[in-house]
């Protein structure tokens, strides 16, 4: 009934849980005191029809009720503290874990699944730490306290009530195994539906173009129906188990009351004791009854936690600590494969000196972007070295500081152009920002609004802002990975002109248009993952048939485009 792994993962919540249990117990004692005063006053009025000492007893009753309210309030505050600390700790651990994983390690999970776990999945832990765990310990403490008090009222009733209490956790344990499997299926269906929804939403334009939206609509309806069915099964399980717990709770309380009434009728109990027993009988079962109610919500949280721990317990490679003493980039006979037996790169060698510029050319799927990912440390087990240090052994912070990557989908955040540029350097002055904008060819004010991912800007404007942001960072190595593939020719020329004007930087340019590479110091040509030449543009035209074929084909297409225009 307790998930020790989950409790050990959030030690910060335990002080709040202990305070919660203590305040609930003190609130119960205040309630028992109030019940005792009510029983005493009622028996006095019934038997003696006297109001002697009534004012003093009513003051005690008021104090007891105030104490119950005060300690209940403190218990609620402790619950809030436990849930907040638990959610904060789990989210921090999740984000830190994802940040520590390499790109190929983190790609094992879908974006929507990670968003659901970080959001809704973590929220499910609120009931577990705020309600279920404190109630679990309180439900053990409260019946024992009441048993001791009830022994002074009627011994048979005390034992009868105490023996009925365990029937509630027995019913909980009986459904626990079934509930765990059912809730695991529930979360599986939930994340599957979320994956489909996000994927269909992101690809809605493509689905409309190919008239495939109706088929996806029907598939998503089917997934939604499966989720509805599993949700109803969860609700049915909860309602059935709650009905059983209610039967045990009310039946046990009625048994205790009946034994008390029978004892009073045989004159073995006073009226005060009978009334007191009747009032506190239900208190035996209320904590366990509440525990049963929280149990089903807690099981949902535990099912989410199991998925969270799948990520948190992923064994990732230990981050490197090396610091290169130079920016000399080198690879010798480099090979890489995403799947065994299907190499993407084979026998690739290159040497990029600090301040040099190199282009990487090749047909789509030849391994250009994979090579860039290996240089920047996005893939583990890279055979690339920087300053003689293997990239996986380099401190990730050093790589982030010294390498900047600009690809074709540089993300822009909602805010202003200034906000997006300052991501690269929060301390940057306006003069530095304006200079970067001019270099990138941006003719917009710094405070121009930017919607999410630059939806209010053209493709060329978005990419120029991304370039300006890279220039603000001013890292010594700049990698352009198809940075102009999604913009028009005018924007492409402007961006490449700005890049060519950069001095004292190591430039690694990947482009499908060879004209963007012809001014680089040398060009590495890849053909189906294998090197097909590494020299200047003019030399490759003479020595590399693969490069010459690509160049001639592109020139022919451009000539045809101009003639058609």
pLDDT number for residue 322: 85
CB neighbour list of residue 399: distance below 8 Å, 6 or more residues apart: 376, 377, 391
509 near 499, Cβ under 8 Å? yes
Determine which helix (DSSP H) or strand (DSSP E) holds 273, and give its type and residue range: helix 271-312
Residues near 54 by beta carbon (within 8 Å), at least 6 away in sequence:
41, 44
Q: Are residues 475 and 507 in contact, defined by beta-carbon separation less than 8 angstroms? A: no
Instruction: Return the pLDDT at 15.
Output: 92
Cβ atoms of 253 and 150 within 8 Å: the answer is no
pTM, two decimal places:
0.62
What pLDDT does 161 receive? 84
State the pLDDT at residue 18.
Answer: 92
> What is the reported pLDDT for 564?
60
**453 DSSP 8-state letter:** G
Q: pLDDT truncated to tens, each residue of the chain (565 aa)?
A: 567 777 888 888 899 999 999 999 999 999 999 999 998 888 888 887 777 778 888 899 999 999 999 999 999 999 989 888 888 888 888 888 877 776 666 666 777 777 777 777 777 777 788 888 898 899 889 988 989 998 888 888 888 888 887 777 777 666 666 777 777 777 778 777 887 887 888 788 788 877 888 888 888 898 889 888 888 887 787 777 777 777 777 888 888 888 888 888 888 888 888 898 888 888 888 888 787 777 766 777 777 777 778 777 776 667 778 888 888 999 888 888 888 888 888 888 889 899 888 999 888 888 888 888 888 887 766 688 999 888 888 888 888 889 888 887 778 889 999 999 998 888 889 899 998 888 888 888 899 999 888 888 888 888 888 888 988 888 899 888 887 776 667 777 777 877 877 778 899 988 888 888 888 889 999 988 888 888 888 888 888 888 888 888 888 877 766 656 5
pLDDT at residue 167, rounded to an integer:
76
Q: What is the distance between the alpha carbons of residues 531 and 335, in angstroms, rounded to a whole number? A: 11
Q: Which domains does the chain have, with CATH numbers?
A: 4-312 (1.20.1560.10), 329-564 (3.40.50.300)
DSSP for 74-122 reads HHHHHHHHHHHHHHHHHHHHHHHHHHHS-HHHHTTS-HHHHHHIIIIIH
What is the DSSP secondary structure assignment for residue 320, as one 8-state letter?
P
* pLDDT for the residue numbered 70: 96
CA distance 449 to 253: 66
If you search the block for the tokens 């022919």, which residue do you land on? 556
Among candidates 159, 174, 168, which has minimal Cα distance to 247? 168
Q: CB neighbours of 327 closer than 8 A, spacing ≥ 6?
A: 354, 386, 387, 402, 476, 477, 506
DSSP character string of 204-248: HHHHHHTT-HHHHHHHHHHHHHHHHHHHHHHHHHHHHHHHHHHHH
- Which helix (DSSP H) or strand (DSSP E) does residue 407 occupy? strand 403-407
In the beta sheet, which residues pair with residue 390? Answer: 385
């Amino acid at each position: 009934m307790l998930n020790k792994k989950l409790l050990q993962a959030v030690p910060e919540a335990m002080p709040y849980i202990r305070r919660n249990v203590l305040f609930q117990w003190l609130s119960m004692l205040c309630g028992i005191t109030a019940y005792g005063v009510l029983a005493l006053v009622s028996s006095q009025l019934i038997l003696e029809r006297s109001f002697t000492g009534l004012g003093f007893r009513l003051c005690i009753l008021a104090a007891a009720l105030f104490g119950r309210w005060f300690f209940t309030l403190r218990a609620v505050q402790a619950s809030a503290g436990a849930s907040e600390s638990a959610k904060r700790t789990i989210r921090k651990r999740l984000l830190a874990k994802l940040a520590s994983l390499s790109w190929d390690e983190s790609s094992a999970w879908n974006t929507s699944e990670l968003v659901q776990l970080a959001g809704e999945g973590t929220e499910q832990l609120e009931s577990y730490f705020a309600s279920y765990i404190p109630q679990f310990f309180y439900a053990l403490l409260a019946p024992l306290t009441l048993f001791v008090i009830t022994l002074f009222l009627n011994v048979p009733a005390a034992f009868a009530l105490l023996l009925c209490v365990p029937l509630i956790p027995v019913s909980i344990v009986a459904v626990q195994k079934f509930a765990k499997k059912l809730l695991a299926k529930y979360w599986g269906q939930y994340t599957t539906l979320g994956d489909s929804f996000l994927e269909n939403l992101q690809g809605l334009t493509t689905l409309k173009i190919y008239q495939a939206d109706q088929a996806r609509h029907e598939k998503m309806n089917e997934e939604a129906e499966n989720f509805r069915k599993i949700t109803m099964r969860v609700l049915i399980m909860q309602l059935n188990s709650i009905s059983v717990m209610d039967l045990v709770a009310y039946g046990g309380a009625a048994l205790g009351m009946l034994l008390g009434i029978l004892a009073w009728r045989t004159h073995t109990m006073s009226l005060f004791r009978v009334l007191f027993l009747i009032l506190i009988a239900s208190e035996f079962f209320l904590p366990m009854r509440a525990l049963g109610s929280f149990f089903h919500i807690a099981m949902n949280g535990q099912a989410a936690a199991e998925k969270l721990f799948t990520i948190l317990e992923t064994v990732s490679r230990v981050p490197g600590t090396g610091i290169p003493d130079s920016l000399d980039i080198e690879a010798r006979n480099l090979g890489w494969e995403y799947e065994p037996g299907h190499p993407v790169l084979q026998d690739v060698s290159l040497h990029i000196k600090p301040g040099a510029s190199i282009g990487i050319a090749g047909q789509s799927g030849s391994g250009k972007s994979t090579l860039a990912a290996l240089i920047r440390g996005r893939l583990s087990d890279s055979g690339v070295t920087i300053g003689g240090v293997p990239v996986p052994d380099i401190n990730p912070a050093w790589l982030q500081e010294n390498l900047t990557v600009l690809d074709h989908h540089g993300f822009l955040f909602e805010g202003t152009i200034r906000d997006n540029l300052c991501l690269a350097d929060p301390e940057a002055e306006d003069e530095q920002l304006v200079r970067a904008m001019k270099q990138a060819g941006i003719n917009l004010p710094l405070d121009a609004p930017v919607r999410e991912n630059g939806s209010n800007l053209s493709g060329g404007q978005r990419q120029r802002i991304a370039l300006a942001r890279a220039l603000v960072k001013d890292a010594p190595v700049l990698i352009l990975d198809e940075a102009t593939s999604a913009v028009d020719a005018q924007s492409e020329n402007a961006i490449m002109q700005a890049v060519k004007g950069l001095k004292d930087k190591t430039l690694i340019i990947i482009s499908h248009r060879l004209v963007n590479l012809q001014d680089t110091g040398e060009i590495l040509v890849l053909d189906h993952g294998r090197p097909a030449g590494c020299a200047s543009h003019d030399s490759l035209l003479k020595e590399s048939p693969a490069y010459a074929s690509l160049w001639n084909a592109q020139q022919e297409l451009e000539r045809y485009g101009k003639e058609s225009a």
